[in-house]
Amino acid sequence: MNRKVRVLVVDDSAFFRRRVVHALQESSAIEVVGQAADGRQAIEQTRLHRPDVISMDVEMPNMDGITATKNILAQHHKTKIIMFSALTREGARATLDALEAGATDFLAKTSVDSTGQPRDLGALLRERVLALGQYGCVVPASPRPLAAAVGRAHQRHRRPPRMVAIGASTGGPVALQKILTSLPANLPYPVLVAVHMPGAFTTTFADRLNGLCKVSVREAADGDVPKPGEVLIAPGGHQMLLTGRHGNGRIQITDVPDQVYRPCVDLTFNAVAEVYGDSALAVVLTGMGADGAKGAAVLKRYGAQVWSQDADSCVVYGMPQAIEKAGLSDQVLSLDDIGPQLARLV
């Protein structure tokens, strides 16, 4: 029998701690091993209880959540930390700072999911905790079908792409920063990014990346024409599609009813396939679920390339695993290798 995922709850509000503890205790697969009211207590409780996952507030007295995260991970590097944040520009900046400090994931204190859609906070928290605690989520990859191996064998004969599209979810912000900061300023193709983030976060995320990267990075706007050397981030809460033909695309920011993810990687990949066909390259990064798998299948039918992140370097091996299991991946790469490989396409 799998052991329970051990969780430490950290928040200066006793009311919110009780709310989080109650939500976690609804799962028989989770054990709350301790509580803390500030960062200093969190460090001590971590030393005593060795939790698998910590839910961490950002703003707290005595020691804030970001400082506590740095201290905890310096001693307990395998611990997963979920930051609770506000859906504001200030909350976005603090959350991105926490992710840069080593936090694994984030949730808004309001009852919405990572795309800003209404969601039961307790259910969402339990889902994330179980995933990050590796409770049945990360499994060994199955042997790749022959089609994928053949695709890799012919990789060297392909011409460079005219468009690169990247999809990600849990762990995606940090992975994207690592990849995009390694790209050269003379990148000969545009990059479209669909990552599961709330609308309040994507503008701040794009601005931060723009200050770190040699390529230009910004949040995509309706009517944009993708340009070489430019990275366009899909705005949270909306869908990023493309209109056009034969590799001449124009961004369309819209709402598509009945979509769980906003932005949805599948929808962006589908649009890239229709406009760029076999001159496209898709990259699927760390994330829960299987968003991107259906879109990758469409891209493959058009003759496009698909890369996926390997299990060892993923925060959650969900989205890339779906690509591999379906035999859609031409290359399975470590996070450390994806940026340099994209740079070699120059």
Q: What amino acid positions are annotated as catalytic residues?
A: 169, 196, 291
Nearest to 169 by CA among 223, 121, 123, 113: 113
Cβ atoms < 10 Å from Cβ of 158 = 16
* Tokens, residue 66: 């970001």
List the beta bridge partners of residue 282.
165, 306
Pairing assessment for the beta strands 216-219 and 239-245 based on DSSP bridges: unpaired
CA distance 339 to 342: 5
Rama region for 303: left / alpha / beta (φ>0; ψ in -120 to 50; rest): left
Q: Are the C-beta atoms of residues 194 and 263 closer than 8 Å to each other?
A: yes
Sheet strands (E) in the chain: 5-10, 30-36, 53-57, 80-85, 105-108, 163-168, 191-195, 216-219, 230-233, 239-245, 248-254, 280-284, 305-309, 331-333
Cβ atoms < 10 Å from Cβ of 227 = 11
CA distance 246 to 231: 20
Pairing assessment for the beta strands 239-245 and 248-254 based on DSSP bridges: antiparallel
Q: Are the C-beta atoms of residues 286 and 320 closer than 8 Å to each other?
A: yes
